[in-house]
Amino acid sequence: MVTSHSEAAARPQGAAAPRRRGAVLERAILEAALEQLSTVGWNGLTMEAVAIGAQTGKAAVYRRWPSKVDLVADALRTGFPALEYAPDHGGVREDLYQLCLRVRAAMYSKPGFALRAVLHECDHDSADRFHELIFSGVIEPSQRLLREVIERGIARGEVRQDAAHELVCDVIPAMMMYRSKVCASEWTDAELAEMIDRVMMPLLRP
């Protein structure tokens, strides 16, 4: 097991390093992989460095993940903030705004930043796999929750009957991903509100 000098000095002489197993060890490895991605990127990440960060042996990493792509994919997948339920504040405008805040938090979380760095650096075949992570981790949940918000608005009479269309549900994820990937800039709270007021609400009103 690889151990830092400071930790070795802090333990009584002759004491063994604590051994982590199972889910605890796997979580430490995945967290170490995310940390490596955020500091050295895809090209700089090595399985050996991840093992050092997780304070385990390189063999323990390879037993669970045979390649860097497998390890990074699992680290990103498990690290994404969950988008599980739609906000319900009694009005479609506020629900859309709160949902946008959640989507932004996922996009700009450590896994979100790491995923964008990976997509810029890795080869074409690996990038296809990570594009799927963007879809399953951010875009698909966003579309599903947007549809739920819109359908709730239809039931309240705030939203026109045909508004729960897949193209309408694409608008917010598409605009947010465009700003992030193409323009490399963040959405402020005020800009999210303006997007809802100038783009989404005119699309949705009866």
Listed as ranges, residues in the chain with pLDDT below 50 are 1-17
CB 169 within 8 A of CB 147: yes
Do 197 and 151 belong to one domain?
Answer: yes
Do 84 and 47 belong to one domain?
Answer: no
- The CATH number given to whatever domain includes residue 60 is 1.10.10.60
Confidence (pLDDT) at 184: 66
- The CATH number given to whatever domain includes residue 167 is 1.10.357.10
Residue 39 domain boundaries: 5-66
Residue 15 lies in a domain: yes
Do 126 and 30 belong to one domain?
Answer: no
pLDDT tens, position by position, 46-92:
999 999 999 999 999 999 999 998 999 899 888 877 778 889 999 99
Do 122 and 192 belong to one domain?
Answer: yes
**Residue 192 neighbours by CB under 8 Å, 6+ apart:** 97, 100, 101, 104
CA 58, 62, 67, 68 dihedral sign is negative
**Residue 164 neighbours by CB under 8 Å, 6+ apart:** 147, 150, 151, 154
Do 85 and 52 belong to one domain?
Answer: no
Do 15 and 95 belong to one domain?
Answer: no
Q: Which of 19, 37, 66 is the last residue of a domain?
A: 66
Confidence (pLDDT) at 18: 56
What's the start-to-end Cα distance of the chain, in Å?
Answer: 64
Q: Which of 19, 40, 66 is the last residue of a domain?
A: 66
Q: Which of 66, 89, 111 is the last residue of a domain?
A: 66
- Residue 108: both structure tokens together: 């700009």
Domain count, the chain: 2
Confidence (pLDDT) at 20: 65
Do 29 and 117 belong to one domain?
Answer: no
